[in-house]
A and B are shown apart, each in its own frame.
Chain A
Amino acid sequence: MYTQALNARDAVAQPLSAEETAKSAAFQARVDDEQRIEPNDWMPEAYRRTLVRQISQHAHSEIVGMLPEGNWITRAPSLKRKAALLAKVQDEGGHGLYLYAAAETLGVSREEVVDQLLSGKAKYSSIFNYPTLTWADIGAIGWLVDGAAIMNQIPLCRCSYGPYARAMIRICKEESFHQRQGYEIMLTLSAGTAEQKALAQDALNRWWWPCLMMFGPPDGESQHSDASTRWKIKRFSNDQLRQKFVDATVPQAHFLGLTPPDPELAFDEASGHWRFGEIDWEEFRQVLAGNGPCNRDRLRVRRKAHADGAWVREAALAFAEKRRARKADAEKQAA
């Protein structure tokens, strides 16, 4: 999802010294040659900064992404659905952890990046600021949100930074289950009673446009894409990925007998693409600025979870320390 951080504007770059210019050129040559950059390799400061921001915001998205779906675990309609949803939400937590670990290889600490999320300094994907009102939303999230995430994440498996690329490979393998379980929920609802089908259509209506926004602003407005593309962090533009998503998803909606909420949606025979209507970018800006339907609630819940868990972290460290001390004493006495 989750390359929205690559759209942010970076601080003005400092002029480079002659030595740094030479190193930068050698670095770019390695990137152009499709070599992977590893944690201890020399890298331009701006590359490091961009990656820390991108990877940590990606991690935050996974962690905050557990909340809208977690909302339905206790109310899943069957044991099968509950087990699958539980496994999916656990996967999202795991994805967050792989990504935090990848960010830490760039020299930031876990505590720092978590603090940035909790203080509101770091962002996460706009999509998780929308509420899950009905069970059909769980289907729509798996199908559409995870579907959009896969479009975004598959190219990241070839990202120039080794630890990020490796984390993305693991994540993409697991993400396919998420999308299929979501689509299956939509299939079941669409083939159900009129009321169930209406739930599915309503979920599609509410999630469609926010999912198109997940890919970030139109290419002309994206501030940061140039450097990210040159560094082979980002391999496709926002608009390219958005179009791929629409082309893949519209036929899936039709198969369900559902209609995406866009009167302008039409197939263009000449290009082979589905053309879609104007996206409400003001809504996107408002959600990013913290004014989406659930922004405050998401952060409140994360802060509470972090604060409520503090005693557990303290106790675990104290216990480990006590056992270390006892072991040392026993060894001393035995000697």
Chain B
Amino acid sequence: MTEARMPLWEVFIRSRNGLSHKHVGSLHAADAEMALQAARDVYTRRGEGLSIWVVPSNAITASDPSEKEMLFEPTASKIYRHPTFYEIPDEVGHM
């Protein structure tokens, strides 16, 4: 008999107050509660976090790597979006 597969979860941890949750890895668990407990054991054995999110992996929609250029290349040519594009005379001081 083949066993049913355990659902996959993605784990996000907030390292310190004030920083956003960051993806740290994934794990298998039957439900959200077990996923949280397992995430605590697997990813926070040395005080790495103050808060954990677990998200079912199949709930994540990801961009397609083959569309990388179409999605991100246009921003490379828009240098006027950066503050250094604009010249301000030194006399004005720090801005």
- Which residues in A have some Cβ–Cβ distance to B below 8 Å? 38, 40-42, 87, 90-91, 94, 97-98, 101, 104, 109-111, 166-167, 170, 174, 310, 313-314, 316-317, 319-320, 323-324
Nearest first, the 10 A-B pairs at minimum CB distance are: A320-B31, A316-B30, A320-B30, A101-B26, A40-B65, A317-B30, A41-B65, A94-B42, A97-B42, A101-B25
Q: What's the Cα separation between A314 and B5 when bound, in Å?
A: 10
Q: Which residues of A contact B5 (CB under 8 A)?
A: 109-111
Q: Which residues of B contact A91 (CB under 8 A)?
A: 45
Minimum Cβ distance to chain A for residue B39 (Å): 11
Minimum Cβ distance to chain B for residue A330 (Å): 16
Minimum Cβ distance to chain A for residue B21 (Å): 16
| Chain B interface helix/strand/loop/mixed | loop
Q: Does B6 contact A (CB under 8 A)?
A: yes
Q: What's the Cα separation between A90 and B28 when bound, in Å?
A: 17
Q: What's the Cα separation between A215 and B30 when bound, in Å?
A: 38
Q: What's the Cα separation between A166 and B30 when bound, in Å?
A: 25
Q: Which residues of B contact A324 (CB under 8 A)?
A: 31
Q: Which residues of B contact A166 (CB under 8 A)?
A: 25
Q: Which residues of B contact A316 (CB under 8 A)?
A: 29-31, 34
Nearest B residue to A105 via CB reads B26
Q: Are A110 and B46 in contact (CB under 8 A)?
A: no
Q: Which residues of A contact B41 (CB under 8 A)?
A: 90, 94
Q: Are B45 and A90 in contact (CB under 8 A)?
A: yes
Sampled A-B contacts (5; CB under 8 Å): A42-B66, A94-B41, A110-B28, A111-B2, A317-B6
Q: Does B87 contact A (CB under 8 A)?
A: no
Q: Which residues of A contact B46 (CB under 8 A)?
A: 174
Q: Which residues of A contact B90 (CB under 8 A)?
A: none
Q: Which residues of A contact B64 (CB under 8 A)?
A: 40
Q: Which residues of B contact A98 (CB under 8 A)?
A: 25, 42
Q: Are B25 and A167 in contact (CB under 8 A)?
A: yes
Q: Are B8 and A104 in contact (CB under 8 A)?
A: yes
Nearest B residue to A115 via CB reads B2
Nearest A residue to B28 via CB reads A110
Minimum Cβ distance to chain A for residue B4 (Å): 6
Minimum Cβ distance to chain A for residue B61 (Å): 12
Q: What's the Cα separation between A41 and B65 when bound, in Å?
A: 6
Q: Are A110 and B6 in contact (CB under 8 A)?
A: yes
Q: Does B3 contact A (CB under 8 A)?
A: yes
Minimum Cβ distance to chain B for residue A232 (Å): 19
Q: What's the Cα separation between A323 and B4 when bound, in Å?
A: 17
- Contacts A104-B26, A167-B25, A320-B30 given; indicate if A313 touches B42 (C-beta within 8 A): no
Nearest A residue to B66 via CB reads A42
Which residues 33-84 of B sit at the A interface, judged by CB distance below 8 A?
Answer: 34, 41-42, 45-46, 62, 64-66
Minimum Cβ distance to chain B for residue A97 (Å): 5
- Contacts A38-B65, A94-B45, A167-B25 given; indicate if A310 touches B31 (C-beta within 8 A): no
Q: What's the Cα separation between A101 and B30 when bound, in Å?
A: 16
Q: What's the Cα separation between A109 and B8 when bound, in Å?
A: 10
- Contacts A41-B65, A90-B45, A314-B3 given; indicate if A323 touches B31 (C-beta within 8 A): yes
